[in-house]
Structure 1
């Protein structure tokens, strides 16, 4: 019983730190000003006049529509969707057989085969066709469109390493008869999708770019509005607070009860 109690206490500690992170994100959104691209260009101009060309830094919120980089649109790996950003994940589902206490036990498990996020930058464009670069920096955007969520059974008898149009490494397939199949998931941001970004605007490469703060801080990228994100963080913080208190109390009770008995 004390093990369950200890696990609940550990979960409560993890929940407490996640709650603090959620509150910090909320405060960052409340305390950061939303600036237009012309306003950011004006501030960058002042920085240049003061002799700090290439050293402009400003934490800000920017809103606009996703726009492709000069080289053009990307094509997602699984669905072949034209986009400015994509991510895919492939998981292998398999069955294992274990012998315990003289009995045969079957269990289903999952392992990750591939997980890739596009690294190429793109841009935000406003109503006047002015743009600011976006450095995604491997961040997983919030609320993006899912283009693929499909399970493909594995047919080992055909010996084909291609499943759902995607070539898997040979060592993954092998001759493992316990493989059940593969779960494919993919997410994209299409051009024109409205985005909210909180990050650090800089001019290190010349044009203005918003990305992850160089010296730490929050980098939020979402298809939802700022108000929707704020409401989500408030709700999450309340639920976490209740969960942390409950897990702590129940965990302590279980540990104490076990000690006393």
Structure 2
């Protein structure tokens, strides 16, 4: 039965992968077909359409932009304390615990395993301005896939007194345990941010809202909404690599799943 269950799970993973790679193909096609624009070109296009129709709010266009990120009132990242418009921070406990399992002879024995659990996770973002050599435009990053820069990645070993960290007006006490069945090894700190005044690439939908141009998530959910510190070419290359990897595992998993399911049904294992 175990092999049959594993086989069914792998088949399910393959089905998920089929839909995932279709989504990635659509995103990649959109990224390649959408022409790069300057902010001035888009502003002129919006003004022309507004004048032609006689009312604001009609302009809507998929765009590919590159420029510098600006924000007058940025966020402060929790761990690094750096100014940014987006951050994602986490603290993960690494520990050893004792579990019981059956050996090959069916006897119960203790096994020490290393595991992790997330004890703190925070993510925050705000709207900002993107500036190129021709002008500025507002970006609303809500629901965007954000490729940020990792600025914190460190591990602090535990001690018997525990660990305590603080940032801004927030403090967190991290307890430690040392006994025969549970031992805290330490805590992993990680944080990634979109800092201000860096060059970024944005792929999304430009809309005219209250006579103001804003880039936000496309109304068509099949279209990509990406914000990255990488160049436009690098973003496309990353999408191509992800699609290639998805094609591989989404093809291998169902084949292996069918094989295991067949073996499980035949042998009853």
Q: How does 1:110-149 map to 2 (within 5 A)?
A: 110-128=116-134, 130-137=135-142, 139-142=144-147, 144-149=148-153
Q: Could you tell me whether the CA contact under 8 Å between 1:117 and 1:138 is conserved in 2? A: no
Q: Which residue of 1 aligns with 2:19?
A: 17
Matched, 1:58 2:64: no
Q: 1:123 to 1:238 in 2, by over 3 A?
A: same
Structure 1 spans left out of the alignment, 5+ residues? none
* 3-state SS of paired residue (1:203): strand
Matched, 1:77 2:83: no
Q: Could you tell me whether the CA contact under 8 Å between 1:152 and 1:163 is conserved in 2? A: no
Q: Which residue of 1 aligns with 2:105?
A: none
* 3-state SS of paired residue (1:105): strand
Q: Could you tell me whether the CA contact under 8 Å between 2:145 and 2:226 is conserved in 1? A: no
Looking at structure 2, the residues matched to 154 and 3 of structure 1 have their Cα atoms a distance apart, in angstroms, of 39
Q: Which residue of 1 aligns with 2:242?
A: 236
Q: Could you tell me whether the CA contact under 8 Å between 2:78 and 2:167 is conserved in 1? A: no
Q: Could you tell me whether the CA contact under 8 Å between 1:87 and 1:186 is conserved in 2? A: yes
Which has the larger strand fraction? 2
TM-score where L is the length of structure 2: 0.81
Looking at structure 1, the residues matched to 264 and 117 of structure 2 have their Cα atoms a distance apart, in angstroms, of 36
Deviation track 1:108-128 (CA, whole Å, cap 9, x = no partner) reads: 222222222222111111124
Shift in Å, 1:103: 2.8
Deviation track 1:220-247 (CA, whole Å, cap 9, x = no partner) reads: 1122223222233333323332332222
Q: Which residue of 2 aligns with 1:31?
A: 33
Q: 1:3 to 1:53 in 2, by over 3 A?
A: same
Q: 1:164 to 1:134 in 2, by over 3 A?
A: closer
* 3-state SS of paired residue (2:95): strand
* 3-state SS of paired residue (1:35): coil
Shift in Å, 1:156: 4.3
* 3-state SS of paired residue (1:141): strand
* 3-state SS of paired residue (1:84): strand
Q: Could you tell me whether the CA contact under 8 Å between 2:145 and 2:225 is conserved in 1? A: no
Q: 1:99 to 1:58 in 2, by over 3 A?
A: same
Q: Which residue of 2 aligns with 1:6?
A: 8
| Count, aligned residues | 253
TM-score where L is the length of structure 1: 0.83
Looking at structure 2, the residues matched to 224 and 109 of structure 1 have their Cα atoms a distance apart, in angstroms, of 33
Q: 1:43 to 1:3 in 2, by over 3 A?
A: same
Q: 1:206 to 1:118 in 2, by over 3 A?
A: farther
Looking at structure 1, the residues matched to 189 and 167 of structure 2 have their Cα atoms a distance apart, in angstroms, of 8
Please tell me the root mean square deviation across aligned C-alpha atoms, in Å.
Answer: 2.7
Looking at structure 2, the residues matched to 131 and 106 of structure 1 have their Cα atoms a distance apart, in angstroms, of 57
Q: Could you tell me whether the CA contact under 8 Å between 1:118 and 1:138 is conserved in 2? A: no
Q: 1:86 to 1:79 in 2, by over 3 A?
A: same
